[in-house]
Structure 1
Amino acid sequence: MKIVDIRTGSIRIPLERPFKTALRTVEQVEDIVVRVTADNGLEGYGEAAPTAVITGDTTGSILCAIHDYIRPALVGMDLEDLDGVMTKLHSCMVKNTSAKAAVDMALYDLYAKSLGRPLYKVLGGHRTHFETDLTISVNDIPTMVEDSLDAVAKGYHILKVKVGKEGLKDVERIAAIRRAVGPDVDIRVDANQGWNAKEAVRIITAMEDKGLDIQLVEQPVKAHDLAGMEKITKQVATPILADESVFSPEDAVEIIRRGAADLINIKLMKTGGIWQALKICAVAEIYQVHCMIGCMLESKLSVSAAAHLAAGKGIITLADLDGPSLCKYDPYDGGPIYEGAGIAMTDAPGVGVGGIPCDHWE
């Protein structure tokens, strides 16, 4: 089964409400879609989310990477040699992990379709359904409380609360949300690199002293500040999740070796797709460090690929795959079934997503 063509298009989907973190504010998904075609007529689809503040990738850099480097390198290769194709994908240029992720997931979609099997079963078939959290954007406290109560009313049992802009005021935010939602809702706190190490220890300790029962704190300091991450992890009781600090298997090894986090967040836009994410899973399995599967501001297309990875691998025990729930509508057909907090896999071959809303492919 040879690769005969790789094309790109674009999608735009408005969000239900602005997505606000310590790093950025976004009002709509504006992503690149990829279609890979094989000589037997089968097609696979993927998606890249330009997230310059995290990955460094822009719409222009993604398109350039795919058209000028990835497509010339892969067209003509035999997908039955999956490892060979993936090795070529990741060696044809450095970085630009989002472009690689889009092509990678399209290739895995195509590969699983050729086997007539859903991708999650090809990847291990560990589970058929799981639960995601829902993100609460950073806003004034009354708005965050209202958004949290709305999420709980919709059936979400886990909230991922964005903080990192106003130091100790974040403690007030979380305390107000905890009072509003009660003790039975899990709260995850995501600072998006918004604190320094000393500040993070002070804030997390204050949350612990108030009995706010935080499930985890995600990426409290800058991605490169592994010494700060290590200090925080050793000085607080709340589990620390490394996100922007982990792009590669090598990053995961270094985080684990230093004891700089208790958990690893895998995102396909950071790893360059499923192939490298599986290597991070293998590292995590060796050291028995549990992983979260996360996403950027992505549509159901790429989030579904991440869902297949989560369903395939047992070491992934936490999910932050709320991208489709943040969108005003779902333009696709098929794929995993999203019902409130629940994500259920189907037996459709590949990733299972069709009806790609793209009229023009380049």
Structure 2
Amino acid sequence: MKITGVSAFTVDVPLTPLEEELGIGPYVTNHGQVDSMERVLVRVDTDEGLSGWGEMRVFLSPAATESVIEDGIAPLVEGQSPFEIERLRRQLFIEYTNVELFFSAVETACWDIVGKSTGKPIYELLGGWTAPEPTNARYRDADDTALVGDRTVEVAFCLGILPPEESRVKAREALEAGFSVLKTKAGRNWKEDIARIEAMHDEVDGQLEFRLDPNQGWTLDQAVRVGATLEDTGIYLQYMEQPIRTNAHRSLATLRRRLRQPIAPNEDTYIPNNLRSLIEAGAMDVGVLDLTPAGGIAGLRQQAAIAEDAGVPFTHHCAFDLGIRTAAILHAVTGIPGFTLPPDSTYYAWEDDVIESPFEVDEGTLSVPTGPGLGVNIDMATVEEYRI
């Protein structure tokens, strides 16, 4: 089997408004806000009629991203076997840039093809089910019978920056929908970040765990004050995600020594070889990994092995993933050992999806597809409806 073509399609899908239950749009971060999200869908075709799909976010512009994939990556992989995933990934070396992040969607599509060819879901190709059972007691009844499917993954609810009182409402919604972890953005005003967590913690009477993500938005002293203030009020986060800028590993290690709040680098892990440097510097309690900058599922597996060998727990990041990348993440966190914390997700907040049978969030969990490959089929009519 050989790859005969690579095509990219950019879609712009709206988010459910905040006024609706579990709605999160506009989603406000330290760097801006979004009411919809552009996603690039990638199809890899073969000479045996099988096609696979991948997905990534837009970089710079839809046209620029599509051009890198179709004009840059495609000629390098066409004529080669989609089964040789590691070799394809390792041959993509371009000086001065991390081209792997553009290859990731192609790589995911290759996994999809291999799974379809062998009749196996990707998580089985990776070695089989390794995901922990959901921790929320609501997932089982009194006699320990599962309330949701056996092949489910608990996910964390994600929320943008809102005033404390509006955040209270969303925390209550998340709890009542069965989520046990809520991640909120931060970084525009560190005092308001504290007030928001305190309000949500009070609203749910401590029944949710919280992740606080300023996207590098705090200075070291501000991060210390946020973490220490929350400690003084008895609130211990599941982790503080990338509290200060990247490549400041000694400062991150200093922060970790000064606080009892777990420190979780995210953007730092996108930079090649940074994961090992963070571990050696003692700068992380948790890793927040992402298959796209890692170069795909195989690259993510390599990162996971490094973190697991170091005894560092890790989870997976969310980038407003539609059904294709959501499926890839679900397969990855169940087939790659070491993912012990719920991955982030905004899937519940899409107005629509490009797959024929969209996922349903049930008691804060998503079911892992069991069909061949990614286990999802693409609805091309919907792709054309939202295509840019």
| 1:96-147 deviation digits (Å, cap 9, x = unpaired) | 4442221111111112221210001111221332200111210111111111
Structure 2 counterpart of 1:225, from 245, 248, 252: 248
* Bigger fraction of residues in strand: 1
Which residue in 2 is equivalent to 1:283? 306
CA contact (8 A) 2:115 2:372 kept: yes
CA contact (8 A) 1:281 1:315 kept: yes
Which residue in 1 is equivalent to 2:13? 13
Q: Would the alpha carbon gap of residues 158 and 232 (structure 1) be closer, same or farther in structure 2, given more than 3 Å must change? A: same
- The TM-score with structure 1 as length reference comes to 0.92
Letter in 2 for 1:7: S
Structure 2 counterpart of 1:200, from 195, 204, 223: 223
| Residue correspondence of structure 1 range 160-309 to structure 2 within 5 A | 160-248=183-271, 250-309=273-332
Q: Would the alpha carbon gap of residues 21 and 314 (structure 1) be closer, same or farther in structure 2, given more than 3 Å must change? A: same
Alpha-carbon distance in 1 for matches of 2:96, 2:236? 44
| 1:269-308 deviation digits (Å, cap 9, x = unpaired) | 3222112111101101211211111121221211210111
| 1:24-51 deviation digits (Å, cap 9, x = unpaired) | 211112111110011111110011112x
Question: 1:19 deviation in Å?
Answer: 1.1
CA contact (8 A) 1:193 1:221 kept: yes
Query: Which deviates more from structure 2 when the two are superposed, residues 188-197 or residues 125-134?
Result: 125-134
Which residue in 2 is equivalent to 1:113? 116
| 1:358 matches 2:361 | no
Alpha-carbon distance in 1 for matches of 2:88, 2:96? 14
Q: Would the alpha carbon gap of residues 90 and 43 (structure 1) be closer, same or farther in structure 2, given more than 3 Å must change? A: farther
Alpha-carbon distance in 1 for matches of 2:100, 2:11? 19
Structure 2 counterpart of 1:80, from 77, 80, 83: 83
CA contact (8 A) 1:129 1:311 kept: no
Alpha-carbon distance in 2 for matches of 1:96, 1:324? 27
Structure 2 counterpart of 1:29, from 1, 13, 37: 37
Question: 1:228 deviation in Å?
Answer: 2.0
Letter in 2 for 1:162: K
**Which segments of 5 or more consecutive residues in structure 1 lack a partner in the other structure?**
none
Question: 1:151 deviation in Å?
Answer: 1.6
RMSD: 2.1
| 1:2 matches 2:25 | no
Alpha-carbon distance in 2 for matches of 1:131, 1:274? 20
CA contact (8 A) 1:217 1:240 kept: yes
Q: Would the alpha carbon gap of residues 353 and 48 (structure 1) be closer, same or farther in structure 2, given more than 3 Å must change? A: same
Alpha-carbon distance in 1 for matches of 2:124, 2:91? 25
Question: 1:185 deviation in Å?
Answer: 1.3
Q: Would the alpha carbon gap of residues 323 and 91 (structure 1) be closer, same or farther in structure 2, given more than 3 Å must change? A: farther
CA contact (8 A) 1:136 1:159 kept: yes
Alpha-carbon distance in 2 for matches of 1:97, 1:211? 42
CA contact (8 A) 1:249 1:280 kept: no
Structure 1 counterpart of 2:57, from 41, 49, 62: 49
Question: 1:341 deviation in Å?
Answer: 1.2
- The TM-score with structure 2 as length reference comes to 0.87
Which residue in 1 is equivalent to 2:153? 130
Question: 1:335 deviation in Å?
Answer: 7.2
Residue aligned with 1:207, SS: helix
Structure 1 counterpart of 2:66, from 63, 66, 73: 63
Question: 1:89 deviation in Å?
Answer: 4.0
Task: Say how many residue pairs are matched.
Answer: 357
Identical amino acids, percent of aligned pairs: 25
Q: Would the alpha carbon gap of residues 260 and 335 (structure 1) be closer, same or farther in structure 2, given more than 3 Å must change? A: same
Residue aligned with 2:267, SS: coil
Query: Which deviates more from structure 2 when the two are superposed, residues 166-175 or residues 304-313?
Result: 166-175
Alpha-carbon distance in 1 for matches of 2:228, 2:234? 10
Q: Would the alpha carbon gap of residues 340 and 329 (structure 1) be closer, same or farther in structure 2, given more than 3 Å must change? A: farther
| 1:73-111 deviation digits (Å, cap 9, x = unpaired) | 000012232222222345598324442221111111112
CA contact (8 A) 1:14 1:28 kept: yes
Letter in 1 for 2:227: I
